[in-house]
Structure 1
Amino acid sequence: MKHREPQLPENVDALLVTRPENVRYLSGFTSPEDAILLFVPGRTRLFTDARYETQAPAESAVPVEIVNTRSGYGFLSEHLAGLRAGYEADHLPCARLRRIEKDTGVTFAPTSGVVERARTVKTPAELEHVTAAARLADEGFEHLLGLIEPGVREVDLALELEFWLRRHGAEKAAFDFIVASGPRGALPHGVASEKRIQAGELVTIDFGAVVGGYHSDMTRTVAVGVVSGEMRRIFQTVLDALEAALAAAAPGVLASELDAVARRVIEKAGYGRYFVHSLGHGVGLEIHEAPFLNSRSEERLEPGMVITLEPGIYLPDRGGVRIEELALVTDSGLELLSHSPRGWLEV
């Protein structure tokens, strides 16, 4: 898969890549946790061990060298000769860095986010995988709607959804699915429990699939029977916040401003203190990756980014609502990749 080329900092000529997602991005190798990569424009190389002597060359878009890291990292020396080398300071443990520097005689300069910045804008091939994962999630949600009823355990819904996705082509679940009903809906990361769903409760379902190594991410909140009063009001507030953010999203918009657009809607309704997380994040080889849509972000949206927008309100001991869309930033705005109905729904 052709990738977007990272831009090295001015102080380095080569980058030692150890973060598995970045190794996979630059090489296509599907067992990146057992490999490292030396990124040098025009002569990048993947290093892995003898277990992958057949697999790695078949998958990798860059030359492969089979090595034995248990005997040290001296094999890197010839490839680093005359180069100023950098390393991924956010991911490489100090002890491992010290060993690499000792074995190679090279002092590595710290870098941050070099490959991650390249990964923010997806290639057409990457988008095909994300879109396929999102399509599976939509189909899985439609299947699940027919199973949500009073008396069903949250964990049984989560398991059924994961089985359905796997049976229909997902490599795995994108993360531990959240199924949070009634008072548990106040838990933003309320992973499915043995609680049985009751009539008159809201149920928040946050889930996704993985296809070709790429993730999807979607959240829907549905009512089990008739739900009224404050829970119905907070649902509408969250939906209004999401609609405002979707309308405001466009290339060049600051991620922090997009977060503020949704937050202002919720604050105006009097629930500002109950929106306890950021508006969203990028999605790709990781379920949470750049860009990050929070109040501190200095990133701007670019065409080709895949992002989530997921405002929420969480009332302790009472319940909560989150609605999340997965979307592609285009030249003119957003293209939704998740298509399940997001409005009020009673089952």
Structure 2
Amino acid sequence: MNVYTIRLERLRDNLRRKRLDGFCLVNVEGSDRSNLYYLTGFAGSFGVLIVTKDQQLFLTDSRYITRAKETVSDYTVRELKGRVTTVATRINRLKLKTIAINGPTTSTWLFHQLRDKLKKTKLVPVAGLVETLRTVKDDSEIAAIERAIRLTDKAFEFILGKVKPGVSERELAWEIEKYIRTHGGDGLAFESIVATGATTAMPHYEPQDREVQKGDFVLFDMGAKVAHYCADLTRTVVVGRATAEQKKIYKIVLEAQERAIRNLRAGLTSKQADAPARETIAKAGYKKNFGHGTGHGLGLDVHEGPRLSPLGKDRLQAGNVVTIEPGIYLPGWGGVRIEDVAVIEEKGCRVLTQAPKKKLIEL
């Protein structure tokens, strides 16, 4: 039994638990690419799945039909001619009472178009039917993530040699992308964040033409994508000799992250996983300067479940792959974030990222 057969049966288990007769996934221009790939191994920008208790149909257009027939093995593969809304005709033939559709990735327009064309089948928007399956990684998924991480660690080592006064944030971001693409990566897992000086106080920042200056913090948030799976790494370094204040903030963030990592294990709630880092930063007097969650799941997408957050409702399971990324951000001065990736285990976790962090790197 191959991995896609197993995933299909697990999806059917979810349908039975929710008393749904079928499931429809519509990937238009990549709108639900990750879920489609997870279930079928097909990575094209257009594809439709219709799954019932005893049938599974894969539809795509003329651009992808040959590729789909070669790639998708567990589904009946057919070419879809006409507009995507003709999917409703296929569903009507099945004479189902209810069919679920992935709400978060389906446009309101498409939902209403399909619903209006269904005759006796109720279209039910749902969330998480596939995503909950994706939170626990199998060995092949973890291996792919590890490959992406090894490349990202090497890219970080490489980019340190490019940091000097006068080089711009955009130039550094381009050097990261070039390295990843020319050393075996599919591409970037996300657009690299390269922040310098006071801009390091912006957790999600887009590189600009600002040039690195002596004394600057430089924050890299970067990740390669390999075999469709993502890496995610953040490190903060300083150009020249670090000030006492820079060392202090870095030490607090590092301690917060290390406490969070030591605490991680299966069975924790989102809030319990988040608490050690948040408490450490708050105790140091910077509670208001750490606004985001401590981490998130990682896999086919750079942000997926489970969340490590005081607002999250997840419970960690063995096989989750998560980031641990506390930070302190001081507007007008700068910020520090340190991020690693770990696999959750029954009695702890295994950290996958290996880029140096024990001491603030001075370049």
TM category (shorter chain) comes to over 0.9
Instruction: Give the whole-Å Cα distance in 2 for the aligned partners of 1:308 and 1:74.
Output: 40
Q: Which has the higher contact order (CA 8 A, sep 6+)?
A: 1
Residue 42 (structure 2) pairs with residue 29 (structure 1): yes
Match of 1:91 in 2: 105
The one-letter code matched in structure 2 to 1:161 is I
In structure 1, stretches of 5+ residues that fail to align are none
Match of 2:72 in 1: 60
Match of 1:20 in 2: 33
Pick from 301, 323, 327 the counterpart of residue 286 of structure 1: 301
Instruction: Give the whole-Å Cα distance in 1 for the aligned partners of 2:331 and 2:58.
Output: 49
The one-letter code matched in structure 2 to 1:346 is E
Residue 223 (structure 2) pairs with residue 211 (structure 1): no
Quick check: 1:46–1:65 contact (8 Å CA) kept in 2?
A: yes
Instruction: Give the whole-Å Cα distance in 2 for the aligned partners of 1:242 and 1:41.
Output: 45
Pick from 132, 136, 148 the counterpart of residue 117 of structure 1: 132
Match of 1:43 in 2: 55
Quick check: 2:215–2:240 contact (8 Å CA) kept in 1?
A: yes
| Partner deviation per Cα, 1:50-107 (whole Å, 9 max, x = no partner) | 1112101112243211112417224423663245311112222232122223333222
Stretch deviating more after TM superposition (228-237 or 91-100): 91-100
Aligned residue for 1:320, secondary structure, equals: strand
Instruction: Give the whole-Å Cα distance in 1 for the aligned partners of 2:112 and 2:129.
Output: 21
Scaled by the length of structure 2, what TM-score is found? 0.91
* Match runs of 1:111-150 below 5 Å: 111-150=126-165
Match of 1:246 in 2: 261
Residue 80 (structure 2) pairs with residue 72 (structure 1): no
Instruction: Give the whole-Å Cα distance in 2 for the aligned partners of 1:278 and 1:305.
Output: 17
Residue 95 (structure 2) pairs with residue 81 (structure 1): yes
* Shift of residue 320, structure 1, vs aligned partner: 0.4
Instruction: Give the whole-Å Cα distance in 1 for the aligned partners of 2:215 and 2:335.
Output: 13
Match of 1:2 in 2: 3
Change (3 A) 1:305 1:95: same
* Shift of residue 329, structure 1, vs aligned partner: 1.0
The one-letter code matched in structure 2 to 1:12 is L
Instruction: Give the whole-Å Cα distance in 2 for the aligned partners of 1:141 and 1:163.
Output: 12
Instruction: Give the whole-Å Cα distance in 2 for the aligned partners of 1:74 and 1:332.
Output: 48
Pick from 238, 244, 257 the counterpart of residue 272 of structure 2: 257
Quick check: 2:306–2:322 contact (8 Å CA) kept in 1?
A: yes
Instruction: Give the whole-Å Cα distance in 1 for the aligned partners of 2:93 and 2:230.
Output: 34
Aligned residue for 2:357, secondary structure, equals: coil
Instruction: Give the whole-Å Cα distance in 2 for the aligned partners of 1:162 and 1:143.
Output: 11
Quick check: 2:33–2:43 contact (8 Å CA) kept in 1?
A: no
Instruction: Give the whole-Å Cα distance in 1 for the aligned partners of 2:254 and 2:242.
Output: 16
* Match runs of 1:317-332 below 5 Å: 317-332=332-347
Stretch deviating more after TM superposition (202-211 or 17-26): 17-26
* Shift of residue 26, structure 1, vs aligned partner: 0.7
The one-letter code matched in structure 1 to 2:24 is L
| Partner deviation per Cα, 1:188-220 (whole Å, 9 max, x = no partner) | 112221111111121110000111111110000
Instruction: Give the whole-Å Cα distance in 2 for the aligned partners of 1:99 and 1:141.
Output: 47
Stretch deviating more after TM superposition (231-240 or 19-28): 19-28
Change (3 A) 1:52 1:318: same
Quick check: 1:2–1:123 contact (8 Å CA) kept in 2?
A: no
* Match runs of 1:294-333 below 5 Å: 294-333=309-348
The one-letter code matched in structure 2 to 1:11 is R
Quick check: 2:22–2:96 contact (8 Å CA) kept in 1?
A: no
Quick check: 1:36–1:46 contact (8 Å CA) kept in 2?
A: yes
Identity across the alignment (%): 35
Instruction: Give the whole-Å Cα distance in 1 for the aligned partners of 2:137 and 2:241.
Output: 42
Equivalenced residue count is: 346
The one-letter code matched in structure 2 to 1:15 is F
